[in-house]
């Protein structure tokens, strides 16, 4: 067994559940950011863009958690792809809110999107390699 495989196995043993995953932690922080930023939106957006953005944001860590609780890696990967879809949806909504001038600076939110996307893709790749091997 190579050193890389040993480190990977050790890391897997240390991860006890979804709450140990960096991507879940970052996406939970992102939910908070979205809630705080959408609280500043006009009141007439409460049932529109505000609600959609909040649902999409909550969907990301929720799907990570649900997937992690499933029996197999294939199912986990499926839920990670759903989380990735919600993240892409939210990214689009952030851009829309920026175009409507609801945000003055969307760069930090888009940066958070990018970071979470990289973490999700990395986890998907890691799990997919283990399914194939």
The model's pLDDT over 19-29, given as tens digits with 9 standing for 90+, comes to 889 999 999 99
Whether 8 is in a domain gets the answer no
In a domain, 60, yes or no: yes
The model carries a pTM of: 0.84
Domain count, the chain: 1
Residue 41 and residue 75: Cα distance in Å, rounded?
36
- Residue 63 belongs to a domain with what CATH number? 1.20.1440.60
Using a pLDDT cut of 90, give the percent of the chain over it: 71
User: Binning pLDDT at 50, 70 and 90, where does residue 50 land?
Assistant: very high
Return mean pLDDT, the chain: 88
Q: Are 69 and 22 a contacting pair, CB within 8 Å?
A: no
Asked whether the predicted pLDDT for residue 8 surpasses 50, the reply is no
3-state secondary structure of 16: coil
- pLDDT of the residue at 16: 65
Residues 6+ apart with CB under 8 A from 14: 20
Q: CA 35, CA 58: separation in Å to the nearest integer?
A: 10
Residues spanned by the domain of 44: 19-132
First to last CA, the chain: 14
Is 12 domain-assigned?
Answer: no
In percent, the amount of the chain with pLDDT more than 70 equals: 85
On the 0-12 / 13-18 / 19+ scale of CB atoms within 10 A, 94 is: buried
Query: Is 125 part of any domain?
Result: yes
pLDDT at 14: 46
Residue 7 pLDDT > 50: no
CA atoms within 13 A on the CB side of 92: 8
């Amino acid at each position: 067994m190579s050193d890389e495989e040993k480190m990977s196995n050790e890391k897997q043993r240390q991860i006890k559940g979804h709450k140990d995953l960096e991507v879940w932690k970052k996406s939970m922080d992102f939910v908070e950011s979205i809630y705080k930023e959408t609280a500043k939106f006009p009141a007439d957006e409460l049932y529109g863009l505000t609600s959609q953005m909040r649902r999409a944001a909550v969907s990301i860590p929720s799907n990570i958690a649900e997937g992690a609780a499933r029996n197999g890696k294939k199912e986990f990967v499926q839920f990670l792809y759903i989380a990735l879809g919600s993240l892409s949806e939210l990214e689009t909504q952030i851009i829309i809110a920026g175009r409507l001038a609801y945000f003055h600076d969307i760069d930090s939110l888009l940066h958070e999107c990018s970071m979470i996307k990289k973490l999700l893709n990395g986890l998907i790749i890691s799990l997919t390699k283990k399914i194939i091997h």
